[in-house]
């Protein structure tokens, strides 16, 4: 009985602390899959929404939960679904896409209290309320997937040959692969079932002769494309993640790479000017989508470099110039690359990882330069944060950071500050793919600034970043 008394005291404390919150009568019970669950802090009701301590409940249903102290953000992953909420903010991220809640999560008595229905329904649980017993009745998702692949179809669009796999549920993750002799390109859809077991489509187009698919193992559906030549497909997902698209650019079409008028070369065709400058990109990695973020922009200038009190360099402009060149280099190397901003516009910090998530980018590269309050800090560093649940990309943020830092230091020649784990930066922790922030040099350091004012610096930065990215993609292809 002691436990009950203690809970009673805690509830009293919450009531005292949480002035404006209405607490309706008796305690609220939580029932998960037919069993009552005990939480150390009792659920409360705010604006007709039930708030529950998130860790106790979610862990008892087998969800993976984590807490980021600086961002005050709680993350829950259950099966293929991920919900992220922040204390006192009504904006949540559901599978990386923003959604609004009626009431925000609260920090009460050192416990994160989350809006129960919002979080659980977005984790695909069902939530009911029994008013007589004052019990919240929760049922976990019937199964943790698998997504049943109902159809696999082939269609020709204006500029691509497309294979579409339609699933019954959101698809958690996929992995692409490629083989030579004979050339094949394929994708594994994890946590998926294909009731027909095997199937095939004949497709006599310029790029491939056919598509085969099968239940590869207990929970993986494999699609293999028999290629006529060495070309990689580009994989994307529908917004609700229930459909997977594999697109092969039609030879001669611009595909979805690059920007109008920038170059006329065909996809996969490598520009001769790059010989000796960049390593050759493994054809098997050419479908991986690289999102490049030019840091700051528009109303946000970032750091400024001054000589004798006069502004001589603005980070916003420097980052953009480097990002444009990096994009051009990777594009010419045959990579699948997109810029999040290609002009001097204002973009919020959060919109950058969100944009990369929405386009299902495989890598996110954020181009920045540094500054400090003192004028002595100098050198080059790359920031990363190794997130959970992204193993299927085949390369981690830390590895990506190391590949890029190595090239930057060799090419630019500023002090090597190494790679740094930074869990609290939005670009790194809100993105769902391996991501890094490059800090080329310090605008606040006179020696770095003198280097950074040169054209050679921008070129060296872009070339080195492109090399590091290509090296990491090639390493991925070899795995
Ligand atoms: Zn910056």
Banded pLDDT at 144 (limits 50, 70, 90): low
Residue 368: how many CA atoms within 13 Å on its side-chain side?
A: 23
The pLDDT assigned to 263 comes to 45
Least confident of 148-157, 259-268, 375-384, 396-405: 259-268
What are the tens digits of pLDDT across the range 180-215?
889 999 999 988 998 888 899 998 899 999 999 999
How many A from CA of 71 to the centre of ligand 1? 19
Q: Which CATH number fits domain 272-477: 3.40.630.40, 3.10.20.90, 1.10.3720.10, 3.60.9.10?
A: 3.40.630.40
- pLDDT of 42 reads 82
Q: Kindly report, as residue ranges, where domains of CATH 3.30.457.10 are found in the chain.
A: 2-139
| pLDDT at position 104 over 60 | yes
Rounded distance from Cα 444 to ligand 1 centre (Å)? 12
The pLDDT score that the predictor gives to residue 14 is 40
DSSP state of 270: P
What pLDDT, in 10s, does the model give residues 311-344?
999 999 999 999 999 999 999 999 999 999 999 9
Separation of CA 91 from chain center:
17
Please give the span between the terminal C-alpha atoms of the chain, in angstroms, as a whole number: 57
Burial level of 262, CB count in 10 A (0-12/13-18/19+)? middle
Taking each helix axis from N to C end, the angle separating 455-477 and 315-332, rounded to the nearest 10 degrees, works out to 50
Q: Of 69-78, 311-320, 424-433, which range is least confident?
A: 69-78
Cα angle 236, 239, 241; round to 5: 70
Expressed in angstroms and rounded, the spacing between residue 303 Cα and the centre of ligand 1 is: 6
Look at residue 2 in the predicted model and tell me its pLDDT: 42
pLDDT at 390: 54
Question: What is the predicted pLDDT for the residue at 25?
Answer: 53
SS3 assignment, position 20:
coil
Span 58-67, mean pLDDT? 82
If you measure from the C-alpha of residue 447 to the centroid of ligand 1, how many angstroms do you get, rounded to a whole number? 18
**How far is 444 from 452, CA to CA, in rounded Å?**
11
Q: Are 258 and 331 in contact (CB under 8 A)?
A: yes
Residue 270 pLDDT > 70, yes or no? Answer: no
Residue 15 to residue 393: CA distance in whole angstroms: 46
Above pLDDT 90, what percent of the chain?
Answer: 46
* Predicted pLDDT at 271: 63
Looking at per-residue confidence, does 388 or 197 come out higher? 197
- 232 neighbors 185 (Cβ within 8 angstroms): yes
Tell the CATH topology of 2-139. Copper Amine Oxidase; Chain A, domain 1 (3.30.457)
Cα of 259 vs centre of ligand 1, distance in Å, is 25
Which contiguous run of DSSP H or E holds residue 58?
helix 54-60
Residue positions annotated with a catalytic role? 439
Task: Look up residue 470 and give its DSSP letter.
Answer: H
Band of residue 264 on the pLDDT scale cut at 50, 70, 90: very low
Residue-level pLDDT at 368? 98
Q: What is the mean pLDDT of residues 280-285?
A: 92
Sequence-distant (≥ 6) Cβ neighbours of residue 285 within 8 angstroms:
232, 335, 473, 474, 476, 477
CB atoms within 10 A of CB 325: 18
Fold observed for domain 147-249: Immunoglobulin-like (2.60.40)
Q: Residue 437: is its pLDDT beyond 80? A: yes
User: How far, in Å, CA of 470 to CA of 276, rounded?
Assistant: 13
What's the gap in Å between 296 CA and the centre of ligand 1?
6
Distance 424 CA to ligand 1 centre (A): 15
- Predicted confidence (pLDDT) per residue in 225-256, tens digit: 999 988 999 988 888 888 999 999 998 776 54
Q: Provide the mean pLDDT of the chain.
A: 85
What confidence score (pLDDT) does residue 262 get? Answer: 42
CA of 180 to the centre of ligand 1 (A): 42
- Determine the Cα–Cα distance for residues 214 and 200; give it in Å rounded to an integer: 9
Tell me what the mean pLDDT of segment 335-359 comes to. 91
Q: Return all residues near 120 (Cβ < 8 A) that are at least 6 apart.
A: 127, 138
Q: Where in the chain is the domain with CATH 3.40.630.40?
A: 272-477
């Amino acid at each position: 009985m002691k436990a009950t008394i203690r809970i009673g005291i805690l509830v009293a404390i919450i009531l005292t602390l949480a002035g404006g919150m209405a607490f309706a009568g008796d305690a609220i019970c939580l029932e998960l899959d037919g069993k009552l669950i005990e939480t150390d802090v009792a659920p409360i009701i705010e604006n007709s929404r039930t708030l529950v301590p998130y860790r106790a409940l979610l862990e008892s249903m087998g969800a993976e939960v984590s807490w980021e102290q600086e961002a005050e953000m709680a993350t829950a992953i259950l099966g293929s679904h991920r919900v992220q909420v922040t204390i006192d903010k009504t904006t949540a991220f559901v599978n990386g896409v923003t959604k609004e809640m009626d009431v925000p999560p609260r920090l009460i008595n050192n416990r994160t209290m989350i809006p129960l229905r919002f979080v659980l329904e977005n984790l695909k649980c069902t939530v009911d309320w029994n008013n007589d017993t004052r019990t919240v009745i929760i049922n976990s998702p019937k199964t943790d997937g698998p997504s049943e692949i109902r159809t696999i179809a082939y269609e020709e669009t204006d500029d691509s040959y497309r294979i579409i796999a339609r699933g019954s549920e959101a698809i958690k993750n996929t992995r692409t692969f490629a083989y030579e002799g004979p050339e094949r390109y394929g994708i594994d859809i994890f946590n998926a079932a294909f009731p027909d077991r095997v199937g095939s489509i004949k497709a006599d187009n310029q790029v491939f002769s056919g598509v085969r698919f099968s239940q590869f193992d207990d929970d993986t559906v494999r699609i293999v494309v028999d290629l006529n030549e060495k070309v990689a497909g580009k994989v994307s997902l529908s917004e609700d993640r229930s459909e997977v698209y594999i697109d092969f650019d039609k030879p001669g079409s611009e595909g979805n790479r690059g920007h109008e008028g920038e170059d006329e070369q065909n996809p996969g065709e490598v520009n001769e000017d790059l010989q000796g400058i960049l390593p050759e990109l493994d054809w098997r990695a050419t479908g991986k989508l690289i999102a490049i973020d030019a840091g700051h922009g528009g109303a946000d200038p970032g750091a400024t470099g001054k000589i004798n009190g006069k502004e001589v360099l603005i980070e916003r402009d420097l980052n953009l110039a480097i990002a444009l060149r990096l994009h051009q280099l990777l594009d010419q190397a045959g990579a699948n690359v997109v810029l999040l901003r290609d002009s001097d516009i204002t973009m919020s910090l959060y919109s950058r990882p969100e944009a990369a998530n929405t386009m299902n980018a495989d890598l996110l590269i954020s181009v920045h330069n540094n500054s400090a309050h003192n004028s002595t800090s100098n050198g080059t560093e790359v920031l990363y944060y190794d997130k959970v649940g992204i193993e299927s990309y085949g390369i981690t943020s830390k590895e990506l950071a190391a590949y890029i830092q190595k090239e930057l230091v060799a090419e630019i020649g500023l002090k090597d500050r190494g790679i740094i784990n930074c869990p609290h930066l939005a670009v790194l922790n809100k993105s769902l793919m391996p991501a890094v922030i490059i800090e080329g040099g310090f605008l606040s350091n006179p020696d770095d600034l003198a280097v950074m004012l040169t054209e050679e610096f921008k070129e060296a930065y872009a070339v080195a970043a492109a090399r590091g990215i290509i090296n990491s993609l090639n390493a991925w292809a070899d795995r």
